[in-house]
Structure 1
């Protein structure tokens, strides 16, 4: 598809215009707080359409509309939209090059897909959930919208004129906004709510279109489809049955002629119907072929079922990888379908050859059930390929290029086919990758996958396998070829940055579930590499290469060199190597610093109490600060930054910190503070920069604590550690990737190649910046304001006291601590032994106190 490319000056103007729009909606943001959604999120599960002679396939993608090649699925570009884009519908003419999209902010946009440019926008005043553009008998000017009313939160079915840019008719009400379907002729519109189908005649000769025919069913309706000749309406229900109602068009016309606007309840038995049943669970989608001879259906079985309406025979296209949620057909070649899957993918299928010709894959959704203790999410960064790795269904790792917003490859850690389960509490555990960690150079990858054939209600037994992968002797000329495919000769799997080979595998490496893993940085070669694993039984194991090398150049395996146990015997919750690899920190209720070379215990740290109530909580996260002798830990009640030279708390933030993420080479880390109120969690990400670890920015994630905070290479930003523009990626719970700060060189090249300009999505206001387009509300503003106030209150000295007289290591944020700081000596020696400062700090203080007492006998 030919498309005019914008110049750098035009893109700069677009950015300025977007910034102006953000200023109008909530105040301008600083350059350091620039936040843009670059990739991820639920991109393809909502809506899409073929247009421009079926050469272009369009889907909605968060705050933009994305265009792909209709035959291969190759990305072509995108157009920015205002608000969270929820739906899109193609122009009714086959040769037309425009689509209509709707957003949660109530904006209806008309977009030219050839140039990917917004032609005009209309604000209808309601949050749009779905849009239908039937054309035909309905006319080219009218669009039908399913929206949420502001006054009561219920749904509304609206008729909108594109030429007038306003609502011209309200067709009906629903309990909540529902999906719409329109007939190919443009004469009928329908939606389903619970067990009732509502059908409107919207053609030019249909009279008042607000007169609806209502058909009742015995089960909850999950899918609808009109036949091309308007003779059959098919509905799928929650039990897996497909019911086809015949003669609905005549009933609608008769109703319009006789009822004079009064809606009439019609029982399902009033219309002739036939029932078919193959699906074992709810029907996810339905679609009639253009010739009316076949009906396509899909659901949780990940199988496309092709029904022959004449003789009732069925044909199947199985193993599609995920439950099917929607079917869209090309107009010039109805045998080619676009199948929407719950794995955030669209598969381009040819039913004539029964093959998948292309796949448009987004970031796969999490496979985790957060209510199950044995499940854990994985989001990590591949430093060699400069892409993000996500845990995915089937015990795989998905490599995703956040700069280009495209799927790159899959690494089948423990290959598993998709298995249909009910998703209930007694369902077997879905195999998944529970832990993954790269070495800083990306040459070593450690993974832990879990599986169980029995549900947790039957047994708590979960099988774990530890695998260690290596990238060795990568041929740069071959990188990127056959990505995600296995090399039969070497058994390696090609992914970005080079092929991975599994060089070690250990079944059941710990007696308990593994809780954290890591690969040591600063290894000059793979032979000097080291990894650690820690388990719920309190044991820490160190893994090293065994020294043997195979013919392919990789090591023949790794071995467990040694192990150690935490003093308290409780389960290890987290761990991390220092930036130079000289120290390993593991934490349970206490924090232990180990020498990874000798297994020697260097020190034991105990989180100071920020209040006199409650027991000591388990540490939730630890991180070393690169380039400085500083170490951070969080237990859900406070964030403590330790000075490793004195083993003293250096900074203490009395706030509910639940996560820590440190930069690999720069003195920078991000802390996640989460507050739960009224059964809703609001999380704030605070970035700390520089030798003083001062907070430099506050970012809110209204949907709760993010899955991860990542730091890509800062090759485009300043190398100065205090530069607030250093890039940072926030991965939200729905796996949107939000970039904070300046883009990297790789991102800049990708944007120039794709000619896509991601609009800013931040909303700035006093107290911080809300990312991912979060609405500004008083509650969120209050949380951010309190968070910023707490992290900037760096000292609690008495009024008038000269802060220079107080050593920095004694300054406490958020409240006084027992056993540390400027305490009277009597109270200090009466404190429990685990609260005493180390001797390296205690002796100098004691000597200083003795000298002070000689000068002033009354001194404490």
Structure 2
């Protein structure tokens, strides 16, 4: 089993002491990347939930031995100590509370003092109080706690602060101060010189009229800077001089009010003065002082890194990064830094010139298209032979991502666009298709009208001569179906032909012309070959058979079969309850699968030889794929929302299921329940993974790839028992619509099998079909529910329901 597609930017990364490695929180693991190549070198595996913090243990002195130890914290409630050069787990501390953030002040203070202390090592952690009741409107679920890492226990009775939700902890580079944000307040604590279990930490509060988003400490002076939701940066100088230096300067959490001039400081806040800078038009996401304290780096939704000179307020910029900035991290090497961006990329910068050296690119995160075109947008597209997935990106591009190697291959910019946060989206890439060999790509982009004027649909064909998926534009066709939107695009497997279907009531086939230049065949462009329609109905889906001899086009609720060479209508199969959204041929077997969504969703299997339906289910289908043999296929289905709401705990967050079918048998061969199924994709990969540990004769029949709605994915062998491990729940047995049921099962469905040895997995909820009530009371008395329960349901079924009209 291969997993990947995790976010690289859920938490700030950390550099090793020699700045040659970057440790990145990646889901339940910590990935170790080389800063010189940008490639992954290893990973720290052991946590069972999201890793939220990684802290590298600093070297005792610049000339000392390079240390390769780090602490990590996770939502699984554990803190772990690693040797990441091996990698090896050295120690585990279980606090039994989800940890959202962690700092260890003594590591930084030991580094600055160049001496090691024999006292216990303490960490300050931001945890969630899982015992707090969510039903209480003012429940405080966030806590800042103290943990003794040496004794592997929480400091008893020490809770520094309670907040509505867990907050991120920021610490100064000297380890002397740390703090959190709480709406319009900034709480700062001073770490005592000698720490113990019961020592009381002094705290000051700094106030603002707007909500804070991020803050940072000056490395050498008592200066703290904070950004807010409006894009302003506030800088307090001389914070905590009275409170942290005087034993009696704290009274009930508030500093004593001294009558002196404190320009810009609100109320009794303990600071000498406060100044404000403003350049960002949106909220500030990252804010960091330079290692020498002369500059401040800030960034936000604009995708621009701003460098402020502290003494003068002058600034310079690194523009066109292309995505909102989340974190800026300095390294022990002053010539190297990193920027984490919202598009799941980490850029390594050469400082102080701020030149991009390398980029660590994760899978692009999903985004929400405008509601006007959301129904037109297709999901992920797979190159099944290469094991590559193509995804839409927010900046009008297509990313090609290797599922086997878990890294980005290339990105194609469908139409040029500079990152402009806050502007309305005017262009959306709605459709995407790849040829079987992956050498051709087709995209459809829709330019939204402004005040119902100026809408445009554009069809583009691309070609690539390499396996690196570097596509070049070949043909641009404006308004291929007049003013109608395109519902589907598909390539013919055996020839350079493609089909586009439209809601305007027609479909078109396109062919690519070739010519010989200097002994090589050159593609000259794509032209329209034929046009077809059926009773002027909207064409909602289209696909070719595996041998390319049949073209299937869905005309709303019916399937029309065409000869693509002669453009002749061959046959009609019908019909579904709602418009068909997906069509898929099952290899060379002579069967076709259709899926429709809406108020009456339906998954249907049709026989081309009999031109009739074999069987069907009332399921919301997200994706269909053909497995290794021609008669086997799999679908990704959404569970009914009522079932997921009523059985939320039992389902464990699973809202979908992968069902594997043999076309001749309506009962599924296997069922795997999954999470985040909505917006997901499914494909059978014919290629082989490059990882040596996954090529031991188990993948000859290919792998099944599931990409969820967050673009996280898993590859597994559907023919083995491996899919039951690590979160892909497995069940066998499902009842189709055509299966007759009697007695108890006709009302309440089949009884569960009681098995002590089976895994605790989610149930697939399928509503039973309505059947005659003549057999309701058939069966053994011990298998029937109480008579009071049966009679109420039976009598209700005999009553005719009418809609009352109140005038």
Q: Does 1:709 align with 2:687?
A: no
Q: Are 1:40 and 1:736, in contact at CA under 8 Å, matched by a contact in 2?
A: yes
Spell out the pairing of 1:603-622 with structure 2 (5 A cutoff).
Answer: 603-607=571-575, 616-622=577-583
Q: 1:520 aligns to what?
A: 492
Partner Cα separation in structure 2 for residue 460 and residue 167 of structure 1? 63
Question: How far apart are the structure 1 equivalents of 2:719 and 2:204?
Answer: 54
254-263 or 337-346, which deviates more: 254-263
Match of 1:437 among 433, 456, 467: 433
Is the CA contact (8 Å cut-off) linking 1:89 and 1:132 kept in structure 2? no
| Higher mean C-alpha deviation, range 594-603 or range 380-389 | 380-389
After TM superposition, the structure 1 = structure 2 runs for residues 754-793 of structure 1, keeping only pairs within 5 Å, are 761-762=726-727, 764=729, 768=730, 790-791=734-735
Which of the residues 119, 125, 128 maps onto 1:145? 125
Distance 1:367-1:653 versus aligned 2 partners, 3 A rule: closer
Change (3 A) 1:514 1:793: closer
Partner residue of 2:706 out of 730, 745, 750: 730
> 1:582 — aligned with what?
549
2:660 counterpart of 1:687: yes
Higher helix share: 1
For 1:541, what is the secondary structure of its paired residue? strand
Q: Residue deviations 1:392-432, cap 9 Å, x none?
A: 23322212122221122122232333x2222xxxx422544
Q: Equivalent residue for 1:236?
A: 227
Please state how far the C-alpha of 1:630 moved relative to its aligned partner: 1.5
1:68 aligned to 2:57? no
In 2, distance between residues paired with 1:668 and 1:743? Answer: 11
Residue equivalent to 1:122: 93
More divergent stretch after superposition (657-666 vs 161-170): 657-666
The residue matched to 1:253 in structure 2 has which SS? helix
Taking structure 2 as the reference length, the TM-score comes to: 0.79
Q: Which residue of 2 is the match for residue 186 of structure 1?
A: 175
Q: 1:320 to 1:288 in 2, by over 3 A?
A: same
What is the aligned counterpart of 2:509 among 525, 535, 542?
Answer: 542
Deviations 1:712-747 (A, max 9, x none): 1165899999x9974111111111111122799xxx
Structure 1 spans left out of the alignment, 5+ residues: 1-35, 480-494, 609-615, 745-756, 770-787, 800-811, 819-860
State the shift of 1:660 in Å.
Answer: 2.3
CA shift, 1:345, in A, is 0.7
Post-superposition Cα deviations, 1:162-198, rounded to whole Å, max 9, x if no partner, equal 2222211322111111211111111211111221111
* Structure 2 residue 540 is the aligned partner of structure 1 residue 573: yes
* Partner residue, 2:566: 598
Superposition deviation, residue 795 in structure 1: 2.5
Superposed CA RMSD: 3.4
Provide the C-alpha distance between the structure 2 equivalents of 1:299 and 1:257, rounded to a whole number of angstroms. Answer: 40
Q: How does 1:281-430 map to 2 (within 5 A)?
A: 281-333=282-334, 335-369=335-369, 371-374=371-374, 376-383=377-384, 385-417=386-418, 419-422=419-422, 427-429=423-425
Residues 196 and 221 of structure 1 are in contact (CA less than 8 Å); yes or no, is this contact kept in structure 2? yes
Q: Quick check: 1:43 aligned with 2:8?
A: yes
* Secondary structure at the counterpart of residue 711 of structure 1: strand
Q: Which has the higher contact order (CA 8 A, sep 6+)?
A: 1
The CA deviation string for residues 56-77 of structure 1, in whole angstroms up to 9 with x for no partner, is 1100111211001134422211
Q: Secondary structure at the match of 1:136?
A: helix
Q: Helix, strand or coil for the counterpart of 2:685?
A: coil
Cα distance in 2 between the residues matched to 1:460 and 1:98: 61
Q: Provide the C-alpha distance between the structure 2 equivalents of 1:97 and 1:261, rounded to a whole number of angstroms.
A: 43
Aligned residue for 2:22? 57
| Counterpart-to-counterpart distance in 1, 2:295 and 2:253 | 35
Q: Give the structure 2 partner of residue 482 of structure 1.
A: none
Q: Which moved more, 1:176-185 or 1:593-602?
A: 593-602
> Structure 1 residue 99 and structure 2 residue 67: aligned?
no
Match of 2:460 in 1: 467
CA shift, 1:213, in A, is: 2.1
Deviation at 1:463, TM superposition (A): 2.7
> How big is each residue's C-alpha offset from its partner over 1:206-265, in whole Å with a ceiling of 9 and x where there is no partner?
894554322221111111111102411110011111001122232551587443764669
Gaps of 5+ in 2: 60-65, 111-116, 135-140, 258-264, 649-653, 744-765, 773-807
For residues 253 and 445 of structure 1, do their structure 2 counterparts lie closer, same or farther at Cα, with a shift above 3 Å needed? same
Alignment deviations for residues 553-608 of structure 1 (CA, whole Å, 9 cap, x no partner): 322111111112233523x3322222222222222232222221222222222235
| Partners of 2:371 and 2:226 in 1: CA distance | 33
Q: Residues 159-178 of structure 1 correspond to what in structure 2 (within 5 A)?
A: 159-168=146-155, 169-178=158-167
Q: Secondary structure at the match of 2:471?
A: strand
Please report how far the alpha carbon of residue 297 of structure 1 lies from its aligned counterpart in structure 2 after TM superposition: 0.5
Structure-2 change in CA distance of 1:198 and 1:371 (3 Å) = farther
Question: 1:389–1:397: 8 Å Cα contact kept in structure 2?
Answer: yes
Q: Quick one: distance in 1 between partners of 2:184 and 2:616?
A: 56
> C-alpha distance in 2, partners of 1:240/1:303?
13
Whether contact under 8 Å (1:65, 1:81) holds in the other structure is no
Aligned to 2:717, which of 741, 752, 758?
A: 741
Task: State the Cα distance separating 1:670 from its structure 2 match.
Answer: 2.0
Structure 1 length-normalised TM: 0.74
The equivalent position to 2:740 in structure 1, one of 796, 810, 823, is 796
Deviation for aligned residue 1:535: 1.6
- From the superposition, tell whether residues 177 and 665 of structure 1 become closer, same or farther in structure 2 (CA, over 3 Å): same
